[in-house]
Amino acid sequence: MGVDDRKPPETPPTAAADKPSSQAPAEPLKGEVSRTDAPGAGASAAPPGAPRTEPPAPKPANIEAAVTATVSETSSATGQPTAPADPAVRAAAPAPKASGAEAAAPTAAAKAAPPAKPAPPKPPAGGAEAHVPKAAPPTGPPDPPPPADKTPPAFITTLQTAVPGGVAALSFWVGDWTIIVPVAQLLDVARRLRDAPDAAFDYLSDLTATDWPPRTEGRFDVLYMLYSTRHRHRVRLKVKVAEHQPIPSVTGVWAAANWLEREVYDMFGVNFTGHPDRRRILMPEDWQGFPERKDYPLEGPGELLMENPLDWLKLRQAREEAEIE
């Protein structure tokens, strides 16, 4: 059964009638940062209020260690013996250069180096633990299929016959049933689950998303936690969507989705279509970027300085000296 998923669902009685419908599936989302200036996975957007003069530098795991790594690399290139893996020596290595113009160079280089290419790991060195690249980012939840002794509830089997293709896969984990639904069938499945007497999912508990950037078939999982006040049972729907892929809003099925979808749009930039009032909800209207994406930095450039008190002191000292001059 073909479904036009761009068709806006009927406006719920509680929905905004005076707000213009922000339905623009083809255009980039408002507030989105162009991905060309994002050097790596570590930084994609700087919050407003950050200094505009320099681009948001990706945050290396540890500045000191990154500087040391750069120094030891240059020394090996010039034929000198590499610095022994001794924390004391390594810590002292950049110290003599601290007063020259050269001192700035390795720091800048370290700052500009994308975090995707960390310094080569040197296992015995102290402080090198921060450097060891983490395991490859996960590409998605395992979604384990139900074990053989678990039969899915009756409403799932009737759903499979009522909406052909509506159930792409089934998953069962620690007592929760999850139905993985293709985007095209989402509205059909949602309406069927709400209206069918054996399902009667009249309560949308929660609507949220999860970001899995390396995944090929679409980075977001959009999740719908449903509950039935009549049968007192739960189910979870999961829809996989790509970054700009439109996903129909379920505000026409459950009015509760209004704010929840706004929050998912605000935090992840999931492109809901047919939403009566798609604006940011927690962040300011003019905010750049989507904070809960995995490639959005946890800390802004200003906070980076606060992490190391010595950097902070150096900066303050430099500012004071500049003021005296």
Partner 1 sequence: METQTVHHGAMFDTNELVINMGPQHPSTHGVLRVVLRLDGEKVVDCDVVIGYLHRGIEKLSENRNWTQIVLLTDRMDYVAAATSNVGYCETVEKLLQLEVPRRARYVRTILCELQRIASHCLWVGTHAMDIGAMTVFLYAFRERELILDLFEEFCGARLTYNSMRIGGLPLDVPPGWAKKVLEFCTIMEAKVGEYEELLTHNRIWLERTKGIGIISGPEATGLGLCGPALRGSGVARDVRKDEPYAAYDEVQFDVVIGTNGDTYDRYLVRMEEFRQSLRIIRQATEGIPEGPIVGKVPRLIKPAAGETYHAIESPKGELGYFIVSDGKSTNPYRFRVRPPSFCNLQGLRRLVRGHLVADVVALIGSIDIVLGEVDR
Q: List the one residue from 254, 271, 276, 295 that touches partner 1 (CB under 8 A).
A: 254
Using CB under 8 A as the criterion, what x/- string covers residues 193-232 for binding partner 1?
---------xxxxx-x-xx-----------x-x---x--x
89 or 306, CB closer to partner 1?
306
H helices present in the chain, as ranges? 63-77, 87-92, 104-112, 154-162, 186-195, 257-268, 301-307, 309-324
Cβ pair 33, 27 in contact under 8 A: no
* Max Cα distance, the chain (Å): 80
73 or 202, CB closer to partner 1?
202
How far, in Å, are 9, 21, 112, 270 from residue 25 at the CA level?
15, 12, 35, 11
Report how far residue 275's alpha carbon sits from residue 318's, in angstroms, rounded to the nearest whole number: 51
Q: List the one residue from 48, 165, 284, 302 that touches partner 1 (CB under 8 A).
A: 284
Nearest to 277 by CA among 29, 7, 18: 18
Q: How far is the CB of 223 from partner 1 (least distance, A)?
A: 7
What phi, psi does 176 have (nearest 5°)? -105, 130
Q: How far is the CB of 219 from partner 1 (least distance, A)?
A: 13
| Residue 245 binds to partner 1 (criterion: CB under 8 A) | no
Report how far residue 320's alpha carbon sits from residue 23's, in angstroms, rounded to the nearest whole number: 52
254 or 272, CB closer to partner 1?
254
Strand, helix or coil at 110?
helix
Residue identified by tokens 């083809």 is 26
Question: What does the angle CA 308 – CA 292 – CA 201 come to, to the nearest 5 degrees?
Answer: 150
Q: List the one residue from 79, 100, 124, 142 that touches partner 1 (CB under 8 A).
A: 142
| Residue 259 binds to partner 1 (criterion: CB under 8 A) | yes
Residue 140 zone, left/alpha/beta (φ > 0; ψ -120 to 50; rest): left
Q: Tell me, by CB under 8 A, how many residues bind partner 1.
A: 45
Q: How far is the CB of 94 from partner 1 (least distance, A)?
A: 28
Q: List the one residue from 40, 48, 126, 138 that touches partner 1 (CB under 8 A).
A: 138
> Binding to partner 1 (CB under 8 A): which residues in 8-47?
12-14, 18
Q: How far is the CB of 266 from partner 1 (least distance, A)?
A: 9
> Binding to partner 1 (CB under 8 A): which residues in 145-184?
173-176
Residues that bind partner 1 (CB under 8 A): 12-14, 18, 134-135, 138, 141-142, 144, 173-176, 202-206, 208, 210-211, 223, 225, 229, 232, 234, 236, 254-256, 258-260, 263, 267, 280-284, 291-292, 296, 298
